[in-house]
Amino acid sequence: MNGEADLDKDRTDLSGQLGKSVPIIDVGDLAADTGVGGDRSTSEIAAAAAEWGFFQIVNHGISETLVNKVREQAEAFFALPMASKEAVLRTRDNPWGYYNNELTKNRRDKKEVFDYTSGGPDSIYKARNRWPEFDPQFRNVMEDYRDACVRLSLRLLEAFCRGLGLPADFLNTNFHPSHTGFIRLNYYPVKDPLRDRADITHIDEAGLGVHHHTDAGALTVLLQDDVGGLQVHKDGCWHDVPPVRNALVINTGDMMQVWSNDVYHAAIHRVLAMDKKDRFSIPFFYNPAASTVVQPLSTVVSRQKPALYRSIDWSDYRGRRTDGDYADYGAEVQISQYRI
Ligand code: OGA
Ligand code: NI
């Protein structure tokens, strides 16, 4: 895995000099909730997911009012005193809540996060969301935004299926009775949150906001602010994913790469460490139901193109990725370990 370790040293293609940039797709033609129509955006989505594993969407139907409320609440939460944030601190048994010491591939990220999922105990950890008490609106706004992301993700999932020549609802059963997706509020401060903490001894320099990684699930819907710093790796260099007003960034996850047998690509991405301005971003990770076993779809596998992966038990995969993020419990699981 030497090439992998050196990825962070690859150069950045500043301002798309190579004539390549992450596509921006107008998805206004994807009919709400049905997956019918939207032929143009479906083919653009399929092409972008194959070539980049990343694209931005506009006219996605999530209202600007809701987006603004989510941003305000996220900023207000991270502005709370550390003691109030640590009142909802994540634990090894319950991954929901606040955290400021996350590892990606065993390296510490310069960020703070708050994670929450669907209502009730979730179906992997059997654990409940932890809600901060500073503002009763926080929970309502976050739940509304999560529900809007779930609806949008289903439309995107349908487009991914149609892009593979399959019926729009082909993968839907893998997200029933309940998906295991979750929202993460990310705060990338200029000042390292652990810098002044005498009780933390293993501190080393957190050189990136998020170290390079792929997202584990099916697809990610990311809301970023206007600061920038997100980069995707393609053809040996890093490309900025620039902030675009009212757009959402979509990227393909590991499970979609496996289902599509490498037609779609789960791209490696990272976030630079902030040095001038604090940054906020809010990804929704759309993940399959707990009992899902993911393997290349028989409809995309052929004699010419046999299955490239062994089957993956989603709950096991997710659990092993979370353990790797939380602390140094060994190397994080990657789909390359399932390659045939
Ligand atoms: C992540 C991630 C990107 C961003 O949280 O997995 O890649 O822009 N975030 O914050
Ligand atoms: Ni990511």
Q: Is the CB of 70 under 6 A from ligand 1?
A: no
pLDDT at 12: 79
pLDDT at 279: 96
The partner residues of 112 in beta bridges, in order of sequence, read: 187
Q: Is the CB of 257 under 6 A from ligand 1?
A: no
Task: Name the helix (H) or strand (E) containing 108.
Answer: strand 107-108
Tens digit of each residue's pLDDT (9 = 90 or more) over 153-165: 999 999 999 999 9
SS3 238: strand
CA of 232 to the centre of ligand 2 (A): 10
Confidence label for 169 from pLDDT (cuts 50, 70 and 90): very high
Q: Rounded to an integer, what is the distance from CA 99 to the centroid of its chain?
A: 17
Confidence label for 197 from pLDDT (cuts 50, 70 and 90): low
Query: Within 10 A of 235 (CB to CB), how many other CB atoms are there?
Result: 10
Nearby residues of 112 by Cβ (< 8 Å), 6 or more positions away: 78, 85, 98, 99, 100, 186, 187, 189, 193
Confidence label for 3 from pLDDT (cuts 50, 70 and 90): very low
pLDDT at 207: 76
The partner residues of 313 in beta bridges, in order of sequence, read: 293
Which of ligand 1's atoms lies nearest the C-alpha of 241? 8
24 — phi, psi (to 5°)? -115, 125
Domain 7-338 in CATH 2.30.31.20? The answer is no
SS3 227: coil
Tens digit of each residue's pLDDT (9 = 90 or more) over 114-160: 999 998 899 999 999 999 999 999 999 999 999 999 999 999 999 99
The mean pLDDT of the chain is 88
Tell me the two tokens of residue 305.
């193109």
pLDDT at 220: 98
pLDDT at 32: 57
Query: Within 10 A of 331 (CB to CB), how many other CB atoms are there?
Result: 12
Tell me the two tokens of residue 58.
């506009």
pLDDT at 8: 80
Q: Which of 256, 257, 186, 273 is nearest to 223 (CA)?
A: 186
Query: Within 10 A of 310 (CB to CB), how many other CB atoms are there?
Result: 12
Q: Which of 173, 171, 161, 149 is nearest to 42 (CA)?
A: 161
Q: Angle 190-196-269 (CA atoms, 0-180°, nearest 5)?
A: 40
Q: Which of 60, 123, 168, 109 is nearest to 314 (CA)?
A: 123
Nearby residues of 71 by Cβ (< 8 Å), 6 or more positions away: 223, 225, 280, 282
Tens digit of each residue's pLDDT (9 = 90 or more) over 14-70: 555 555 789 999 999 886 555 556 888 999 999 999 999 999 999 999 999 999 999
CA of 336 to the centre of ligand 2 (A): 17
Question: Percentage of the chain with pLDDT > 70?
Answer: 85
87 — phi, psi (to 5°)? -65, -20
Q: Which of 149, 8, 158, 134 is nearest to 74 (CA)?
A: 134
**Which residues have CB atoms below 5 A from the ion given as ligand 2?**
215
250 burial type by CB count under 10 A (0-12 exposed, 13-18 middle, 19+ buried): buried
Question: How many Å from the N-terminal Cα to the C-terminal Cα in the chain?
Answer: 17
pLDDT: which is higher, 3 or 23? 23
Nearby residues of 336 by Cβ (< 8 Å), 6 or more positions away: none
Query: Within 10 A of 230 (CB to CB), how many other CB atoms are there?
Result: 24
CA of 300 to the centre of ligand 1 (A): 29
Confidence label for 202 from pLDDT (cuts 50, 70 and 90): low
pLDDT at 320: 84
Q: Is the CB of 71 under 6 A from ligand 1?
A: no
Which of ligand 1's atoms lies nearest the C-alpha of 249? 8
SS3 310: coil
CA of 304 to the centre of ligand 2 (A): 32
Q: Angle 323-77-68 (CA atoms, 0-180°, nearest 5)?
A: 110
**C-alpha to C-alpha distance for 189 and 184, rounded to whole angstroms:** 16
Tell me which residue has its CA closest to atom 5 in ligand 1.
Answer: 283
Q: Is the CB of 281 under 6 A from ligand 1?
A: yes
Tens digit of each residue's pLDDT (9 = 90 or more) over 225-276: 999 999 999 988 999 999 999 999 999 999 999 999 999 999 999 999 898 9
The least confident of 81-85, 199-203, 206-210, 213-217 is 199-203
**C-alpha to C-alpha distance for 267 and 92, rounded to whole angstroms:** 28
Q: Which of 269, 279, 282 is nearest to 231 (CA)?
A: 269
Question: Side chain identity at 293, as an amino acid letter?
Answer: V
**C-alpha to C-alpha distance for 81 and 78, rounded to whole angstroms:** 8
